Amino acid sequence: MEPRESWAALAAGGVAGVCVDLILFPLDTVKTRLQSPQGFRKAGGFHGIYAGVPSTAIGSFPNAAAFFITYENVKSMLHHGSTSYLTPATHMVAASLGEVVACLIRVPSEVVKQRAQVSPSSSTLRILSHTLYHEGIQGLYRGYKSTVLREVKY
């Protein structure tokens, strides 16, 4: 894969990811609060519907960019010398590896975002520092394996 193509995949993936995540953010907040054990109203109801958006905005571009750059590079490496009947497998392997890499960025961002969505009075930075102080880096990767297992099949 040429460097120019790599930059294009990185930029296109990053911009697309940011647009999708920011447009769908309010729906995600409502869903998270509906699933909260404390209940929708106590989790914030419709108040602070954009709570946690900074972690999404910061993590979205590198998350999507990591997926697309990994996907394109793995696809180009596997595609050399493969026959046409292996093309679907090449895309599946490339996408799966792209998801594994993207989840390294997505999961910490999601942990902070979801905690902010159910505690709209706390800032994103405060939630991040609280998680790191009390749970360490492992706290940010809570659910990494299950997220990867869920995402890889898509």
Domain interval for residue 83: 51-152
* Residue 122: φ, ψ to 5°: -95, 145
- Residue 145 above 90 pLDDT? yes
Does one domain contain both 15 and 73? no
Does one domain contain both 35 and 109? no
Does one domain contain both 15 and 69? no
Does one domain contain both 59 and 77? yes
Q: Is 82 left (phi over 0), alpha (psi -120 to 50) or beta?
A: beta
Confidence band (pLDDT; 50, 70, 90) for 130?
Answer: very high
- Residue 119 above 70 pLDDT? yes
CA dist list (Å): 70 to 31, 105, 114: 30, 13, 26
Instruction: Give the count of beta carbons closer than 10 Å to the beta carbon of residue 113.
Output: 26
Mean per-residue pLDDT of the chain? 88
pLDDT in tens, 87-96: 888 889 999 9
Does one domain contain both 102 and 63? yes
pLDDT in tens, 33-58: 999 999 999 999 999 898 888 888 88
pLDDT of residue 80: 67
pLDDT of residue 81: 62
pLDDT of residue 2: 75
Does one domain contain both 42 and 55? no
Mean pLDDT value of segment 59-67:
89
Look at the chain and report how many structural domains it folds into: 2
Q: At what angle do helices 87-118 and 53-79 cross, to 10 degrees?
A: 170
Q: What is the DSSP letter of 122?
A: S
Does one domain contain both 1 and 74? no
Residue 53, token pair as written in the block: 């958006």
**Which residue is listed with tokens 């490339």?**
94
pLDDT of residue 52: 85
End-to-end CA separation in angstroms for the chain: 24
HSE, side-chain direction, 13 A CA sphere, residue 135: 14
Does one domain contain both 62 and 113? yes
Does one domain contain both 36 and 106? no
Does one domain contain both 88 and 145? yes
